[in-house]
Amino acid sequence: MYYGVGMEVILTGTGSPIPDANRAGPSTLLKAGDTHILVDCGRGVVMRLAGAGTMPPFLAAVVITHLHSDHVCALNDVLTTHWVMTQGNGVLKVYGPPGTAEFVERQLHALERDIGYRIAHHEPLTEGPRVQVTELNPGDSFAINDVQVTTAATMHEPVAPTIGFRFEHEGKTAALVGDTIPCDGVDALAADVDVYVQTVVRRDIVEQIPNVMLQDILDYHSGVVEAAQTATRTGARRLALTHMVPAPTPEQYPEWIARAGEHYSGEIIIGDDLTSISL
Ligand SMILES: [Zn+2]
Ligand SMILES: [Zn+2]
């Protein structure tokens, strides 16, 4: 258990759209005292939340960086599990870019039969999942309990808008910026943070793979080198890499760290799912 002070960032899903037996899809959990905030909902997220010591009913909010399927495909599981485990009494708060409300509404529509079956069978359930969606514009700031959240536009064209997040709690800061190339928004969010979490691709490896759709990913993601350069430019104290393409084996972690380390002298974190960073 984690009590009161500080902040913990847990890489609940370090995978990408490419299926991987050991890596869930993109998601990251922030524990700020008792306030648990989930950033994105990739494949397998609810299992990984359990591994990280929490469950959908204990989430203060879900925040979404963008509506690419790899980042939201398991939101339906979060919605349903939250609904059932709170016996219909909880409200799930979801923050995300424009389009999030429609996405949630359509998820609930897809779940309509299940919702009907459960209401018919379980007396405590009298209505469907209660979800409070707040659509964000880049630059918005707000609070989730005692966690201050600031946002900025990131660059992941043609996906737009995409939103990066900076979380502050008891003097600790974390920037979770999602899929993006380096840009002013990321620089602002990651300025002097305790940890900067960046989704990355290995540009040098992907460039060697003769696949058109893999080549396409190069123009809207940060490479490992670019993430390291951003970390240096912003004065981030730690750099955590996630959403790694292609996913490294543990034996390859030192090579990834060495590559980033040529451009950044702070601590570099890379790991399996459930890697935890205490701030
Ligand atoms: Zn994306
Ligand atoms: Zn992605």
pLDDT band at 237 (very low <50, low <70, confident <90, very high): very high
Ligand number nearest to the C-alpha of 160: 1
The pLDDT, as a whole number, for residue 20 is 97
Question: Given this model, what pLDDT does residue 24 score?
Answer: 98
Please tell me the pTM assigned to this model: 0.97
Share of the chain above pLDDT 90, in %: 96
Q: How confident is the model at residue 71 (pLDDT cuts 50, 70, 90)?
A: very high
Rounded distance from Cα 88 to ligand 2 centre (Å)? 31
Supply the pLDDT for residue 251.
97
Q: What is the DSSP string of 114-129?
A: HHHHHHHH-TT--S--
Residues 131-146 pLDDT 10s: 999 999 999 999 999 9
SS3 content of the chain, % helix, strand, coil (to 5): 30, 30, 35
Average of pLDDT values for 4-18? Answer: 91
CA-CA distance, 69 to 43, in Å (whole number)? 9
Ligand nearest to the CA of 162: 1
Report the separation in Å between the CA atom of 248 and the middle of ligand 1, taken as the mean of its atom positions. Answer: 19
pLDDT at position 8 over 60: yes
Residues with C-beta atoms within 5 A of ion ligand 1: 68, 179
Q: How far is the CA of 96 from the centre of ligand 2 (A)?
A: 15
Q: Which pLDDT belongs to residue 1?
A: 46
- CA 7, 12, 15: angle at the middle one, nearest 5? 135
Instruction: Report CA(41)–ligand 2 centroid distance (Å).
Output: 11
Ligand nearest to the CA of 159: 1
pLDDT digits (tens, 9 = 90+) for 220-231: 999 999 999 999
Instruction: Show which residues are catalytic.
Output: 70
Give pLDDT, residue 6.
83
